[in-house]
Chain A
Amino acid sequence: MSSADTPTARSAGASYGKKIMHDVFSRFGAKLGLTWIAVIAFVAVFAPFLANSHPLLLSINGEVSSPALSFLTSGDVTVLGVFICAVALYFLRLSFTKNIVVLAVVGGGIALLSIIFVNPPQLTVYEQYRVNESAANYDWVIRAPIPYSPKDYIREQGDTGLEAPLSNEHRSHLMGTEENGADVLSRMIHASRIALAIGFIATGIALFIGVILGGLMGYFSGVVDMIGMRLVEIFEAVPTLFLLLIFVAFFERSLYVMMIIIGVTGWPGYARYVRAEFLRLRQQEFVQAAIVCGLPLRSVLFRHMLPNGMAPILVAASFGVASAILAEATLSFLGLGLVDNPSWGQMLNQSVQSSTFNWWMAAFPGGAIFLTVFAYNLIGESMRDAIDPHLKRKS
């Protein structure tokens, strides 16, 4: 992983960024990490079709219907729409900025439309399908691979409760059930959305604040730098976890507030990196030339300087995604996370709250957190090795 097996045959025309990316993803560790994240992303997008108590398709007296589709929430529809749009964009091969703009517009549009038009039934009775199926009321049924919703407590069968993986001969729970009888694997699949979203959006917010403040500090230096560094110090001097706790404890608990909070407490690290890069870059000729040409400040900072100082920031961001996921898990574990929806940290907390120790309730969600964090760390590590000139020169 750390061995500098840099590919020697590179296309001469490729940009520095492309070369680095090629270098990064030719490493074993980065490939491994990317694969795992792709798996998680797939699972997160198609969660309602992978783990759902509503059958995917069923036929009553020759009439075919799909409860799974009719019970999709507006959130599910948005996620699916954005995913399809992203896949389409990948094949269209537009420029990076255009991609982002199109994705944002389409995502926003779908979200708005789905909020207006998608109305899943308020009342969900998970038991009806199983009852009907055992009474042979259906002609045929196609069920999801894991036929349990995250909040399906299987109440109609009285013996439910804690079950070890594969211990029940009537139902198959690959990863067991929690105390109320809900399927652990199904909860984990639906929680993967939270982990993924928190990681990207919280890091995005932190990166946004960090790049702007750090850029201004590095470019202007002097008094701006002095004040900015005090601000950075203020946020760094309190342990991040404690700061997070304060923020979370005093505000309402929703996914979006959590993302913003993790982002707002995470920016000082990026600001430091950007500042250091910009302090180095501002003396260089191309920056001086851009200033002399009379380009506006925005252009100098973000079109000319930022792309040249982006590499170490991306490394930090990769590690940052990992720590954002960890932060959410920790908060949920301490009982300050989301209330209604399962998240991996909250499931870990659940395993502590119960009176007995049930390894499947701790090991599976905890293992998922570990693997995801590890995947991001692997990518970050590969990126750091790829952009490190020291390792290349001396090898």
Chain B
Amino acid sequence: MYTYIVRRLLLMIPTLLGITLVVFIVMASAPGGISAQSLVEGQNLEPQAKKALEDYYNKLYGLDSPAPIQYLRWLNNVSPVGFTFDEAGNLDGFSLFKGSDLGKSFRYGRPVTDLIAERVPITALLNIISIPIIYIIAVAIGVRAATQRGQSFDVGSSAMMLGLWSIPTMLTGVLLIGFFASDQYWHWFPTSGLNDRVALDMVFLPHWGSLSDILILIFSVLFATAFFIWMSRWSKPYTRAACFAVIGLLAGFFMADALPEKEQGLITYLMITSLAAALFGAVAYAQYSVLRVFFMGLVGLGIGFIVAFYFQEGPFVRGFLLDRAWHLVLPIICLTYGGFAFLSKLTRTAMLENLLSDYARTAKAKGVSDNDVLWRHVFRNSLLPLITVSASLLPSLLGGSVIVESIFSIDGMGKLAVEAVKGRDRELVLSITLISGLLTLLSYLIADLCYAIADPRVSYE
């Protein structure tokens, strides 16, 4: 096992070298490439000042030396083991512990490490929230679809998931911002960033003015949620659907009413109310109780909050946490839907393969209950492909966040990457490449190790 890990870690070194080399060659061979001229370009300077600035950049980043030398110098700076140089730039000696230095960004003039350390937590926050959501929804839908194979839920969810998977993230982002964040339609969410300026000075948790407000809030939320969950457990689907369609109708009416004057019209009202009614009714009619309870509970929660805010009297401070959550809603929607659409299809295939296998039939024949067969036997064996995919999910989320972060102007790694590339920032581009490459390779390794843990038949001895 340990020899395997060590071997894999050693194999990463040539791969990482290759990655940075590919990226460096692209940058160096591009017309214009990276040169002091391209950095100074666009600044309105006198010729002498321009020359001086070019010389300064050349000296600082060694841009006037040939490309292979530049690459080797960068490599030497980055690798923890290598040659050291003295102040004047002469070879000093060879050190095993000189530590790695990612260099300074051209554009920002700051150490790359600092820049990345600033941005990583933001992207990590987005991913840490979205990955569990992706997995939970994917498993819930995929398992259900596999057990109901060929029935309406399976066919419907398969088509819907393929459709969701095909919706480009930028379209979703643009439409969500346009309809739910701009003041032309519903100004419910903020358009950009991760928090408001004012929220930085607020306390962390939300605060209410008086105790009675809190009591009203707790009571109304609990009551509404409990009521709706109780309703979702009714046994007659048509009653459920009818009741919920009426609620949807009301919700749609309020939504249309919240639109600014000039967007309102009979057609808008009809469209929104009928759409909401149809959606609510369809969910309430669904056979899948988990989906029903979840959706109705969510609606109950929302109604509880709205009622509480309607009746409360004292001042209310939303606090940093709530403000952050409020800002995260739209980006998280954009980040998750493609992932769970893809994963749920994968879950379905894996589950199906195991559900149809001999051991599942044997377990059923022995008299093991359906639930136990599903979750104790079949589900565990279906986890393997999910683990494999989790490795490739990490880089894809980093890539996906490029779009989401630039739409929502969130200063994360994705946006940094776009800025670095657009600004031809050599050190930054190479460092981001190196780090994302390293992360990806590590996640491959971890996935392979998890594979061995999940399936005892796999061993790397």
Q: How far is the CA of A333 from the CA of B429 in the complex (A)?
A: 20
* Known A-B contacts A2-B155, A234-B18; A374 and B178 likewise in contact (beta carbons under 8 Å): no
> In the bound complex, do residue B174 and residue A245 qualify as a contact, i.e. CB atoms below 8 Å apart?
no
Could you tell me which residues of chain A, from 346 to 395, have a CB within 8 Å of some CB in chain B? Answer: 348, 351-352, 356-357, 359, 362-363, 366-367, 369-370, 373-374, 377-378, 381, 390, 394
Which of A3, A237, A249, A250 meets B15, CB within 8 Å? A237
Query: Is B27 positioned at the interface, with any CB of A under 8 Å from its CB?
Result: yes
Which among B302-310, B317-325, B371-379, B400-408 touches the partner chain?
Answer: B400-408
- A303 contacts chain B at the CB level, 8 A cutoff: no
Closest to A367 in B: B171
Which residue of A246, A322, A351, A363 contacts B166 across the interface (Cβ within 8 Å)? A322
A326 within 8 A of B: yes
A336 CB within 8 Å of chain B: yes
With known contacts A246-B23, A390-B353, A378–B171 Cβ distance under 8 A: no
Chain B residues positioned under 8 Å from A329 (CB to CB): 168, 170
Residue from the set A235, A240, A241, A366 with the largest chain B CB neighbour count within 10 Å: A241
Judge if A139 is at the interface, Cβ distance under 8 Å: no
The answer to whether B175 has its CB under 8 Å from any CB of chain A is: yes
Q: Decide: B154 and A2 in contact? CB cutoff 8 A.
A: yes
Closest to B185 in A: A357
Bound-state CA distance A115–B314 (Å) is: 76
Decide if A239 is an interface residue (CB 8 Å cutoff): yes
Contact B440–A351 (Cβ < 8 Å): no
Let me know if A251 is at the binding interface, CB within 8 A.
yes
Contacts of B424 in A (CB 8 A): 249-250
Q: With A2-B158, A246-B23, A250-B424 in contact, do A241 and B402 touch (Cβ < 8 Å)?
A: yes
Residues A352 and B174 in contact in the complex (CB < 8 Å), given A237-B19, A242-B402, A374-B163: yes
Q: Which residue of A lies closest to B443 (CB)?
A: A237
- Residue B301 is within 8 A (CB to CB) of chain A in the complex: no
* Residue contact B407 to A245, C-beta cutoff 8 Å: no
Q: Is the CB of A246 within 8 A of B184?
A: no
Compute how far the CA of A381 lies from the CA of B166 in the bound complex, rounded to whole angstroms.
Answer: 12
Structural contact, A246 and B422, CB atoms closer than 8 A = no
Is A156 positioned at the interface, with any CB of B under 8 Å from its CB?
no
Given contacts A333-B403, A374-B163, contact A366 B171 (CB under 8 A): yes
The SS class assigned to the B binding surface is helix
Size of interface on A: residues with Cβ below 8 Å to B: 52
Any A CB within 8 A of the CB of B250: no
User: Are B19 and A238 touching (Cβ within 8 A)?
Assistant: yes
Instruction: Count A-B contacts at CB 8 Å.
Output: 147
Task: Determine if B14 is an interface residue (Cβ-Cβ < 8 Å).
Answer: yes
The chain B residue with its CB closest to the CB of A233 is: B15
In the assembled complex, B200 has its CB within 8 A of some CB on chain A:
no
Q: For the complex, what is the distance from the CA of A238 to the CA of B392, rounded to whole Å?
A: 11
> Is B159 interfacial (CB 8 A cutoff)?
yes
Does A230 touch B at the CB level, under 8 Å? yes
B162/A378 in contact, CB under 8 A: yes
Docked-complex contact A356 and B184, CB < 8 angstroms? yes
Q: How far is the CA of A194 from the CA of B179 in the complex (A)?
A: 29
* Residue of chain B at shortest CB distance from A261: B26
Any chain A CB within 8 A of the CB of B441?
yes
Q: Is the CB of A230 within 8 A of B440?
A: no
A239, B414: Cα distance in complex, Å: 11
State how many residues of chain B have any CB contact under 8 Å with chain A: 58
Taking CB atoms, residues of chain A closer than 8 Å to B432 are 242
| Inter-chain contact B23/A334, CB cutoff 8 Å | no
Q: Is the CB of B436 within 8 A of A239?
A: yes
Partner of B18 from the list A230, A245, A363 (CB cut-off 8 Å) is A230
Let me know if B162 and A238 touch, CB within 8 A: no
Question: Quick check: is B40 within 8 A (CB to CB) of the other chain?
Answer: no
* Chain B residues closer than 8 Å to A129, beta-carbon distance: none
B89 within 8 A of A: no
A357-B184 in contact (CB<8A): yes
Q: Would B422 and A249 count as touching, CB distance under 8 A?
A: yes
State whether A330 touches B440 (Cβ < 8 A): no
* Max chain A C-beta neighbours (<10 A), residue from B179, B356, B399: B399
| Cβ of B35 under 8 Å from chain A | no
Provide the residues of chain B in CB contact with A100, threshold 8 Å. none
Query: Is B171 a contact of A357 with CB atoms below 8 Å?
Result: no
B150 within 8 Å of A (CB atoms): yes
Q: In the complex, are the beta carbons of B15 and A245 less than 8 A apart?
A: no
B208 at the interface (CB under 8 A from A): no
Q: Residue B418 at the A interface, CB < 8 A?
A: yes
> Does residue A1 face the partner (Cβ distance < 8 Å to B)?
yes
Give, as a whole number of angstroms, the nearest-CB distance from B349 to chain A.
9
Chain B minimum-CB-distance residue to A357: B178
| Best-buried of A235, A250, A351, A367 by chain B (most CB within 10 Å) | A250
Is B184 a contact of A330 with CB atoms below 8 Å?
no
- 24 of the cross-chain contacts (CB-CB < 8 Å) are A1-B159, A2-B155, A237-B15, A237-B437, A239-B399, A239-B402, A241-B402, A241-B403, A246-B27, A246-B433, A250-B26, A250-B33, A329-B168, A329-B170, A333-B170, A334-B403, A336-B422, A352-B174, A359-B175, A359-B178, A362-B171, A366-B168, A370-B168, A377-B166
Show the binding face of B for A, using Cβ within 8 Å.
Answer: 11, 14-16, 18-19, 22-23, 26-27, 30-33, 150, 154-155, 158-159, 162-163, 165-168, 170-171, 174-175, 177-179, 182, 184-185, 353, 356, 395-396, 398-400, 402-403, 406-407, 417-418, 421-422, 424, 429, 432-433, 436-437, 440-441
Q: 17 extra interchain contacts, Cβ-Cβ under 8 A, other than A233-B15, A241-B403?
A: A1-B158, A230-B11, A230-B14, A233-B441, A234-B22, A239-B402, A239-B440, A242-B421, A246-B26, A250-B30, A322-B166, A330-B170, A348-B174, A366-B175, A374-B166, A377-B165, A390-B356
A residues with CB within 8 A of B: 1-3, 29, 230-231, 233-243, 245-247, 249-252, 322, 326, 329-330, 333-336, 345, 348, 351-352, 356-357, 359, 362-363, 366-367, 369-370, 373-374, 377-378, 381, 390, 394
